[in-house]
Structure 1
Amino acid sequence: MSDEKKSMGAASGNIPLPQVTFSTFVMSLASSALVPLGEVPDPETGKPTENLALAKHSIDVLSMLEEKTKGNLDDEERQLITDLLYDLRMKYVLKTR
């Protein structure tokens, strides 16, 4: 096994990680926005918490990514980021009403 593969296995705790694609990257960003929205428990405390400023920042990052990649995504990738942003924005709006 190469040194690079050994270090990657050690860094990941020998847990297989998904292949890095645009879709997995965007889903990871969207998932991390769910924590400050209080939709999933905080990984450190195990309890749901809200930080709407951080949630908005995460949504803004995804929105910027959508804008910067416009015209460079396939239909599936474009639809994924559009759908994720819609869902996150609706959750944010409901929390700020």
Structure 2
Amino acid sequence: MQTLQMGAMVGLGMLQGPDGKRPPVDLPAAKDAIDLLGILQEKTKGNLTKEEEEVLREGLYHLRMGYMAMINAPPAGRKKEGDPR
């Protein structure tokens, strides 16, 4: 579970590499990891402790929100509509 969460975070550009730089965003890889976590959540329902369910649910929520923020963000260097700058 943690490996998939970390993979999604790397794909979303949420983590820095050992050199201190962020890897390039890879939305398809992030989506795949998030989708796999969703499948794990579905298939393990009723077989996890409350703590494990909470960790999975909260992690998925934050990853999904991060993914949505990334796909809805304007491309870098392009100003938002209505932005006077």
Q: Aligned residues, how many?
A: 72
Matched, 1:48 2:23: yes
Residue 88 of structure 1 corresponds to: 63
Equivalents in 2 of 1:53, 1:33: separation in Å? 10
Equivalents in 2 of 1:51, 1:59: separation in Å? 12
Using the size of structure 2 for normalisation, the TM-score is 0.75
Greater mean deviation of Cα atoms: 79-88 or 47-56: 47-56
State the Cα RMSD in Å.
Answer: 1.8
Gaps of 5+ in 1: 1-25
CA contact (8 A) 1:42 1:49 kept: no
Question: Share of identical aligned residues, percent?
Answer: 41
Gaps of 5+ in 2: 73-85
CA contact (8 A) 1:41 1:49 kept: no
CA contact (8 A) 2:14 2:22 kept: no
Equivalents in 1 of 2:28, 2:49: separation in Å? 31
Q: Per-residue displacement from partner, 1:40-77 (whole Å, max 9, x unpaired)?
A: 13569x43211111110000000000000001111000
Residue 75 of structure 1 corresponds to: 50
**Structure 1 runs, 4 residues or longer, greater than 2 Å off:** 41-44
Using the size of structure 1 for normalisation, the TM-score is 0.67
CA contact (8 A) 1:66 1:81 kept: yes
Residue 32 of structure 1 corresponds to: 7
Equivalents in 2 of 1:52, 1:43: separation in Å? 21
- Structure whose residues are more often helix by fraction: 1
